[in-house]
Chain A
Amino acid sequence: MEFGFTSEQEMLRKSAREFAEAEIRPRVRDMDETGKVPMDILDKMAKLGFMGVMIPREYGGLEMGHIARTIVLEEIGRVSAAMANTLQITHLGISPIVTDGTEDQKRRWLPMLARGEKLSTFAVTEPTGGSDVLGIQTTAKREGDEYVINGRKCFISNSHLAGVLGILAKTGEGPKGLTTFVVQSDSPGFRPGREENKFGLRGANTGELILENCRVPKENVLGKEGDGLRIALGTISNVGRPGINAAALGIIRSCLEEAVRYSKQRVLYGKPISELQAVQWNLTDIYMDYEASRLLTYYSAWLRDKGERCDAENAMAKFCATEAAVRCAKKTIDIFGAYGCMMEFAPQRLLRDAELFISGAGTSEIMRLVMIRKVLTLA
Chain B
Amino acid sequence: MSRVNCIVCLKPVPDPRRWSELALDPITKTLRREGIPSLLNPLDKHALEEALRIKERSGGTVTVISMAPLTANDVLREAIAIGADGAVLLSHKSFAGADTLATSYVLAAAVKKLGEFDLLLCGNQSLDGGTGQVGPEIAEFLGIPHVTYVRRIDVLDRGAVRVERALEYGYMVIEGRMPLVLSVVDEINVPRHISLMRISDAMQAEIPVWTSRDLDIDSGRIGLLGSPTQVADLFLPTIKRRREMITGAPDTVSKLLIQKLRELGVL
Binding site for B on A (CB under 8 A): 7-8, 11-12, 14-16, 18-19, 22-23, 44, 47-50, 52-53, 62, 64, 72
28 pairs, CB–CB < 8 Å, chain A vs chain B:
A7-B77, A8-B199, A8-B200, A11-B74, A11-B77, A11-B81, A11-B199, A11-B203, A12-B196, A12-B199, A14-B194, A15-B81, A15-B193, A15-B195, A15-B196, A15-B199, A16-B196, A48-B194, A48-B195, A49-B195, A50-B196, A52-B197, A53-B196, A62-B196, A62-B197, A64-B196, A64-B200, A72-B196
Closest B residue to A23 by beta carbon equals B193
Complex Cα spacing A49 to B78, Å: 16
Evaluate contact between A62 and B194: CB separation under 8 angstroms. Answer: no
Evaluate contact between A48 and B203: CB separation under 8 angstroms. Answer: no
| Least distance between A151 CB and chain B CB atoms (Å) | 37
A44 surroundings in chain B (CB, below 8 A): 193
Among B74, B196, B197, the most chain A Cβ lie within 10 Å of the Cβ of B196
Complex Cα spacing A311 to B78, Å: 36
Complex Cα spacing A12 to B78, Å: 10
> A11-B77, A11-B78, A15-B81 given as contacts; is B193 within 8 A of A48 (CB)?
yes
Interface residues of B in 30-88 (CB under 8 A from A): 74, 77-78, 81
Closest A residue to B191 by beta carbon equals A22
Complex Cα spacing A8 to B78, Å: 10
Evaluate contact between A7 and B203: CB separation under 8 angstroms. Answer: yes
Closest A residue to B203 by beta carbon equals A8
A16 surroundings in chain B (CB, below 8 A): 196
A64 surroundings in chain B (CB, below 8 A): 196, 200
1/0 per position for B193-227, CB-CB distance to A under 8 A? 11111011011000000000000000000000000
B203 surroundings in chain A (CB, below 8 A): 7-8, 11
Complex Cα spacing A23 to B78, Å: 19
Evaluate contact between A49 and B193: CB separation under 8 angstroms. Answer: no
| Least distance between B16 CB and chain A CB atoms (Å) | 15
Complex Cα spacing A7 to B74, Å: 8
Task: Give the interface size class of chain B.
Answer: 10 to 19
Closest B residue to A6 by beta carbon equals B203
B197 surroundings in chain A (CB, below 8 A): 48-49, 52, 62
Complex Cα spacing A364 to B200, Å: 37
| Least distance between B51 CB and chain A CB atoms (Å) | 19
Complex Cα spacing A8 to B200, Å: 7
B196 contact from A22, A23, A48, Cβ within 8 A = A48
| Least distance between B212 CB and chain A CB atoms (Å) | 27
| Least distance between B200 CB and chain A CB atoms (Å) | 7
Evaluate contact between A62 and B193: CB separation under 8 angstroms. Answer: no
1/0 per position for B3-16, CB-CB distance to A under 8 A? 00000000000000
Q: Which 3 A-B pairs have the closest CB atoms?
A: A15-B194, A49-B196, A49-B197
A23 surroundings in chain B (CB, below 8 A): 193
Complex Cα spacing A76 to B196, Å: 14
B199 surroundings in chain A (CB, below 8 A): 8, 11-12, 15
1/0 per position for B161-204, CB-CB distance to A under 8 A? 00000000000000000000000000000000111110110110
B194 surroundings in chain A (CB, below 8 A): 11, 14-15, 18-19, 48
Evaluate contact between B193 and A18: CB separation under 8 angstroms. Answer: yes
A53 surroundings in chain B (CB, below 8 A): 196
Closest B residue to A44 by beta carbon equals B193
Closest A residue to B196 by beta carbon equals A49
| Least distance between B164 CB and chain A CB atoms (Å) | 25
Complex Cα spacing A268 to B74, Å: 43
Complex Cα spacing A47 to B196, Å: 9
B195 surroundings in chain A (CB, below 8 A): 15, 47-49
| Least distance between B162 CB and chain A CB atoms (Å) | 30
| Least distance between B193 CB and chain A CB atoms (Å) | 5
Closest A residue to B73 by beta carbon equals A7
A18 surroundings in chain B (CB, below 8 A): 193-194
A48 surroundings in chain B (CB, below 8 A): 193-197
Complex Cα spacing A50 to B193, Å: 12
| Least distance between B121 CB and chain A CB atoms (Å) | 21
Complex Cα spacing A159 to B194, Å: 30
Complex Cα spacing A8 to B205, Å: 12
Complex Cα spacing A243 to B195, Å: 21
Complex Cα spacing A322 to B77, Å: 35
Complex Cα spacing A50 to B203, Å: 18
Evaluate contact between A62 and B200: CB separation under 8 angstroms. Answer: yes
B196 surroundings in chain A (CB, below 8 A): 12, 15-16, 48-50, 53, 62, 64, 72
| Least distance between A64 CB and chain B CB atoms (Å) | 8
B193 surroundings in chain A (CB, below 8 A): 15, 18-19, 22-23, 44, 48
| Least distance between B165 CB and chain A CB atoms (Å) | 27
Closest B residue to A51 by beta carbon equals B196
Complex Cα spacing A14 to B200, Å: 14
Complex Cα spacing A300 to B200, Å: 23
Complex Cα spacing A22 to B194, Å: 12
| Least distance between B126 CB and chain A CB atoms (Å) | 19
Among A53, A62, A64, the most chain B Cβ lie within 10 Å of the Cβ of A62
| Least distance between B247 CB and chain A CB atoms (Å) | 32
| Least distance between A118 CB and chain B CB atoms (Å) | 18
Closest A residue to B82 by beta carbon equals A15
Complex Cα spacing A210 to B28, Å: 73
| Least distance between B6 CB and chain A CB atoms (Å) | 22
Complex Cα spacing A308 to B55, Å: 45
B81 surroundings in chain A (CB, below 8 A): 11, 15
Apart from A7-B203, A15-B195, A49-B195, 14 more pairs, CB < 8 Å: A7-B74, A8-B199, A11-B74, A11-B194, A11-B199, A12-B199, A19-B194, A44-B193, A48-B193, A48-B197, A49-B197, A52-B197, A53-B196, A72-B196
A72 surroundings in chain B (CB, below 8 A): 196
Among B74, B78, B194, the most chain A Cβ lie within 10 Å of the Cβ of B194
B78 surroundings in chain A (CB, below 8 A): 11, 14
Complex Cα spacing A22 to B45, Å: 14
